[in-house]
Structure 1
């Protein structure tokens, strides 16, 4: 049988990622569009203070849901392809059962502990009721993310992304619109949280259907086996990273709400969510990129891995820059759509947009670290960055309000990505994102050094040395 040249294999791999990422991009775009529509609908039918309560509770719910997932929404993307390649079907089935059962148990504990804390604290009725409803969302989201990851490992991009992104947000829009416009109900934060819970439940049911439909049928006859020690050891840093990354993204909302300014928490939440659209191309690439990284690294295909990292970062930077510029220019008009009181978020949005475009240039650094077995180092960098964000944002909020939260988060995101880029270069010999183009440029300076006059040679040599880590 003829062997396909390496160049053809690289091109086929790159083309497959491009096609899959494009499909994921379309689905994610639809989901994000619906998410913004849902935020617009909620903001239209809720007062600023009620929306702030909703955003504050959702920030806590999201962080707790990632903790409840125990990192298996990421770990399964490593274990399932490996077990499938080895035809280790008992372990394949066992790790899915283990992940779901542990996530459900932790979610129930969070509901019980959270309800006790909320009931004994002296807080407003609206905040208490919204928390009590939101706590039930924790295990539902955790299971939804885990089952979506299982479907991703099965190769079902549509079934993995649509329930969590499109269906969940679409149901929120439908229920809130029906209740407010169709039935004339007066909505508060707790009722909107009920709609959010309903959307997540339906999304979970669809993800479950997709998992059943796309599963390898050979696992039906396999008796599950458990390698719990290995799974726990791998999942521990992943759960830390997942929960801490969620906290990093929502530090501003949580701190503003904790300091009692739920109005500013809601406005900042809108600003951060809008700015996160810039990260949409990177998220789309990561939908299929994560399993590919693990496979290329396991086969020691360093050159192919570097090429794919660079190509992916180039695609994401181009798309993110276009989106970022458009949102930067239209920031004032965009916030005006949400009604009076939200215009205070325009400066924060522009600060966050600049940071997100810079981050997009780095590419899939966190996924590269996790899929190459360096999840513990990634967790250390992420935890350090989150602690720094908490400290910086707390101080800056006191001086600049919600703009201070944006400055603290923007600076933290940039420093965190620079730290990951340094790690990837030193430990794996990989240039993060579009920085690989600088590596090509530095190689060409060697040719210039050999032919340049002595003064220019010394200047080029100093420049080349300054870019080395």
Structure 2
């Protein structure tokens, strides 16, 4: 066997080993989230579990708003600068991003506390939601920092650790609190905040251990760069819009259903929606590992390597994700029954949403490709089109059809995202597809 073949074999084993490790972390996340949803639903009942999922949705929405895209901007800048040994520039991006997301998280926390009562009474028409919503504000800054440090670690090519910090740790820790006897809604929300805080602190420690790479400065670095990076905020702005739109897409059907339906419907639909999004466990785990390599290959003009990596990513996602989607289509009621009695009412909704996720699974990770190669503006317009579709579909379908209307809207705009980003990559970077 020649040295070139050995080198190719080594890189294949290393790449797929990283994918498997990432999937292992996501499997930990999946077990933690499913266990958390199941036990929380059984302990709280359909009504209070609906309030819990509303609070969880709100925390995710506000955390995304307060990060404003800086987490993905920092991931791209750190990966691209370290690829050509510009450690000081990577450090500058990391510190600037940390400042802005921390400030944003603090503002989001204050706004949630102040608006909890009017939101509960006038928007969701559920006065019992006010106090839990105010408590959930405690999770906003910790979750914001956990997700930010996770993305930063991915920029350091520590994608597996990054996913552990931003997604893998907090569900398990919150589930452990339930297993230890925390069975009230308020207690679960406090446990959620503490779990995210622990994840954020772990992220800070891991970045600190890797700080030596931020001191490296190659005087010939500019000569190795094919692409010059814009200011951090210019990278963050379109990506921030994308992130806000994406979390809005996931949150809007739940929030509108809460405004027009009963908490029991919200609880059942939220569980079905989260089960359908398990395919994202596969997509994000593999895409996150590939993201810094997308940025590095693009900056160095390595088109053959970029195309090869993109194809491997899509194939791997399809191999692991399609069976998950098929299970949702074939056994929807059984999966929902695992959560608790009464959730089977969302079985048809789960089947509908899994159709959209199937398209998303087969056309995966092209949004990450656009984000990591400087096409955040295009991604922003694609997401704006998704947002318009989501608003129109939800407004038309949810009031008359309730849960099924929310499921149909969700399936359509999810499929739209996969199709749109793939067509954009084909048009803008045919050599990468």
Aligned to 1:335: 336
1:399 Cα shift? 2.6
Cα gap change, 1:12 to 1:393, in 2 (>3 Å): farther
Question: 3-state SS of the aligned residue for 1:176?
Answer: helix
Question: Within 1, Cα distance between the matches of 2:3 and 2:370?
Answer: 29
Question: 3-state SS of the aligned residue for 1:179?
Answer: coil
Aligned to 2:239: 238
Matched, 1:116 2:118: no
Cα gap change, 1:336 to 1:214, in 2 (>3 Å): same
Aligned to 1:39: 37
Aligned to 2:222: none
What TM-score, normalized by structure 2, do the two folds share? 0.90
Aligned to 2:374: 373
Matched, 1:179 2:188: no
What TM-score, normalized by structure 1, do the two folds share? 0.83
Aligned to 1:392: 393
Question: 3-state SS of the aligned residue for 1:46?
Answer: helix
Question: Within 2, Cα distance between the matches of 1:108 and 1:228?
Answer: 29
Aligned to 2:248: 247
1:406 Cα shift? 0.9
User: Per-residue CA shift, 1:72-125, capped at 9, x if unaligned?
Assistant: 221122111222234333322222111111111111112222222223453545
Question: 3-state SS of the aligned residue for 1:340?
Answer: coil
Cα gap change, 1:83 to 1:217, in 2 (>3 Å): closer
Question: Within 2, Cα distance between the matches of 1:220 and 1:306?
Answer: 29
Question: Within 1, Cα distance between the matches of 2:368 and 2:110?
Answer: 33
Paired residues of 1:351 and 1:406 also in contact (CA < 8 A): yes
**Structure 1, gaps ≥5 residues long:** 222-226, 433-469
Question: 3-state SS of the aligned residue for 1:366?
Answer: helix
Aligned to 2:149: 147
1:388 Cα shift? 0.9
Paired residues of 2:102 and 2:141 also in contact (CA < 8 A): yes
User: Per-residue CA shift, 1:370-421, capped at 9, x if unaligned?
Assistant: 1111101101111220221121022111232111111111111112222222
Aligned to 2:169: 167
- Alpha-carbon RMSD: 2.5
Paired residues of 1:324 and 1:357 also in contact (CA < 8 A): yes
Cα gap change, 1:228 to 1:142, in 2 (>3 Å): farther
Q: Which has the higher Rg, Structure 1 or Structure 2?
A: 1
Matched, 1:277 2:278: yes
Matched, 1:317 2:305: no
Question: 3-state SS of the aligned residue for 1:87?
Answer: coil
Matched, 1:349 2:347: no
Question: Within 2, Cα distance between the matches of 1:89 and 1:349?
Answer: 46
Paired residues of 1:66 and 1:246 also in contact (CA < 8 A): yes
Alignment size in residue pairs: 418
User: Per-residue CA shift, 1:233-276, capped at 9, x if unaligned?
Assistant: 11001111112111112221121123353322221111111112
Paired residues of 1:389 and 1:412 also in contact (CA < 8 A): yes
Question: Within 1, Cα distance between the matches of 2:352 and 2:169?
Answer: 31
Question: Within 2, Cα distance between the matches of 1:85 and 1:314?
Answer: 26
1:179 Cα shift? 2.5
Aligned to 2:302: 301
1:52 Cα shift? 0.7
Cα gap change, 1:29 to 1:142, in 2 (>3 Å): same
